[in-house]
Amino acid sequence: MFSIHYLEPKKLTRLAFQLLIEKQAECKIVYSGDCIKNYETYLVQMNTVSDLCIISDSFPYIEIIKLIKLIKQKSNHPFILLKSDMKFIKSICFLLKNGLDGIFFTEDDLIDLKHCVRNKTKFKLSANKLKLISTNRMNEFHIKELHYNTSPLTLNELQFIQACAKDESYEQIAYTLGKSINTIFGYRDRIFKKLQVKQRSAMVLTALKRNYIDL
């Protein structure tokens, strides 16, 4: 049996994902919880370690780092995987520098967890993304943000959404970005299509949820 610990604060997400994981051959969730403190207590008390620990990126990074260190203290051969919907390489690198072993993104199809851990693969990330992550683990420099979806937003489109979040009119946005009003409407229509929304407010909320912009 391939045993897995899974930490996720959202109950419905946790239960649904657990069912999905256990459809994979020999995979079994032996611990499932929504509280890091409770999991830390469990780790201290348990006699055996799991094959894989999956941690949602919904928890504060400082708490995740402390947990990663505890897991590694408990076993000489742990594998810790971040289940993430993040879009910022710099954030991922921060966790990788502090002991995280691997990541995968929730917008992608579920990977073969057992195969990936056994073969120490990098969870189907492209070569370019792997290079950026591995390079930044060794050096402190700014990396442009990458978006892990099939229709990435351009810099101009991100700037447009950011301006919309500040409740600027389309005319104001056009002036700020130095673009024509027709170009601004073009940004809007393309973003609506990429994010699959029909309203400006839904566009901003979706962008915030996916960490494309900050308030």
Compute the average pLDDT of residues 122-139. 58
pLDDT digits (tens, 9 = 90+) for 31-89: 999 999 999 999 888 877 788 999 998 888 889 999 999 998 887 677 899 888 765 66
Compute the average pLDDT of residues 3-27. 90
Looking only at the bridges linking them, the beta strands covering 2-7 and 52-56 are parallel
* Residue 4, strand partner residues: 29, 52
Q: Which of 29, 136, 64 is nearest to 93 (CA)?
A: 136
Sequence-distant (6+) residues with CB within 8 A of 56 are 7, 8, 9, 10, 13, 82, 83, 84
More confident residue, 39 or 118: 39
What whole-number distance in Å separates Cα of residue 101 and Cα of residue 131? 15
In the chain, the domains with their CATH numbers are: 2-138 (3.40.50.2300), 155-209 (1.10.10.10)
pLDDT digits (tens, 9 = 90+) for 164-205: 988 899 999 999 999 999 999 999 999 998 888 999 998 988
What whole-number distance in Å separates Cα of residue 9 and Cα of residue 191? 30
Least confident stretch, 65-79, 127-141, 150-164: 127-141
For the chain, the farthest-separated pair of C-alpha atoms sits apart, in whole angstroms, at 65
Lookup: tokens for 128 = 């370019």
Sequence-distant (6+) residues with CB within 8 A of 164 are 173, 200, 203, 204
Residue 98: predicted pLDDT: 80
pLDDT at 136 over 60: no
- Its pTM stands at 0.60
Contact 203, 195 (CB under 8 A): yes
Lookup: tokens for 149 = 């979806």
